[in-house]
Amino acid sequence: MPSSADLAPLRTRRAVAPAPSSDADDRRAGLRRMRFFATALLVLMLAIFILTSAGERQWPWLAYLRAFAEAGMIGACADWFAVVALFRHPLGLPIPHTAIVPHSKERIGIAIGRFMANNFLSPRVLADRIRDIDFSGCVARWILRGGNARNVAQRATFSLQRGLRALPRDDFNAFMSDAVRRGIEAIPAAPLASRLLSLVWAHGEMQTVIEHMLSQASAALAKNREAIKSKVSKQTSRLIPKWIDGILADKIISGLTRILDEMREPGHPWRVELAATVTRLIDELASDPAMAVKGEEIKAKLLSNPQIASQIDALWVGIEGRLDEPATQARLTEMLEQLLVATGERLLNDERIHSGVNRWLRVAVLRAVAPRRAEIAGFIRKVVENWDTETLVERIELQVGRDLQYIRINGTLVGGLVGLLIFAIARQFQ
């Protein structure tokens, strides 16, 4: 059931008429026209009755027309009374069993709520109705239509920025930093390192790094040839001539360069041995308990390092600051838009996902609405009860008022015909 806080806005509007709308204005104008027509027909019956009463002695056949007008007036007045009595006291007189709608506001609310709960929100009716609704298709088509995805992405970016600004900065940064540390602590270090190393090694990134390191080493040897010669000369005996030191240094540099060049070949023994070592390390990281313990020790040391902790703390401060930059906001909006468009296309084109989302949403709607239909009925009852009487009368009258005026018109004509028929039959027996 809705709380008193939920109904407070309704109570504040009890004496306030609903905002006029184009549809309500049209209905109000149509109701006025029909009222005028029904009242004009009553006035016409009265005029015919007066004229025929005055001329009946001179033209006896006018008695039939007088009987029609008399019965028509009676029918018009009776139906006018019945129609008016639904919404208000006729002529302002507190006649019993009149102003039915204002006096039955509570019963109307209960009836409307019960009608909605039993005829629209029952599990069987809901299941039959939502079975034909393509939820995911509607959502996907709306996302892909026009600039909807862009608008949603912009609103999401703006809401994220506003939300982060509204949060206490120090508390939020401390919370996020703590969450990052807890997340890192919860992940086993050794298995994670095994998966990362396996992924890098399998995709060849490690081989690329090795090739780059070999090239850099060869370049460093060539660039620092004279410095190497000088180092070699300092390490040899003073009795050895300098030119021999130069030859020795050149031999060392050439040998190292040749070894580095040979190691660029994938089949080099050292490369093969390196691959075996990496493979063995990957397996040990994944399954060796000793490696797991060692990984946790290293992770704990890193997390306890003040510099690492300060870097984690600074991470969220930097992210928050970047969100205020127009370029970051534009990039985030673009990423969200691409994500929404990709999601919409996936929902439309992937039948398995399309059907799965529809099935999930149908179950969610059934589980959310059907068990709460009594609460929904109670909410409808409270809303109707909290309408002010004039608003309730006006809304109902605008919906059915024109049809009720037709009842007045029909009552006038049918009453006149019935009265004429009774008068004619009575004349036959005189």
- Residue range 375-403: average pLDDT? 79
The highest-confidence range among 20-34, 91-105, 119-133, 399-413, by mean pLDDT, is 399-413
Better-predicted residue by pLDDT, 298 or 201: 298
Q: What is the DSSP string of 360-422?
A: HHHHHHHHHHGGGHHHHHHHHHHHHHTS-HHHHHHHHHHHHHHHHHHHHHHHHHHHHHHHHHH
Low-confidence winner among 52-66, 104-118, 204-218 (lowest mean pLDDT): 204-218
Span 178-188, pLDDT tens digits: 777 777 777 78
The highest-confidence range among 18-22, 75-79, 204-208, by mean pLDDT, is 75-79
The highest-confidence range among 65-79, 246-260, 288-302, by mean pLDDT, is 65-79
Asked whether the predicted pLDDT for residue 157 surpasses 90, the reply is no
Residues present in the chain in total: 430
- Residue range 376-385: average pLDDT? 80
Q: Residue 40: its pLDDT value, please?
A: 92
What mean pLDDT, rounded, does the chain reach?
77
Span 89-134, pLDDT tens digits: 888 788 887 777 777 777 877 887 887 777 777 777 777 777 777 8
Q: What is the DSSP string of 244-282?
A: HHHHHHHHHHHHHHHHHHHHTSTT-HHHHHHHHHHHHHH
Q: Which of 136, 32, 205 is nearest to 358 (CA)?
A: 136
Low-confidence winner among 304-318, 331-345, 348-362 (lowest mean pLDDT): 304-318
Task: Please report, for the chain, the start and end positions of each structural domain, with discontinuous segments joined by +.
Answer: 4-11+21-103+387-428, 170-304
In this prediction the pTM is 0.43
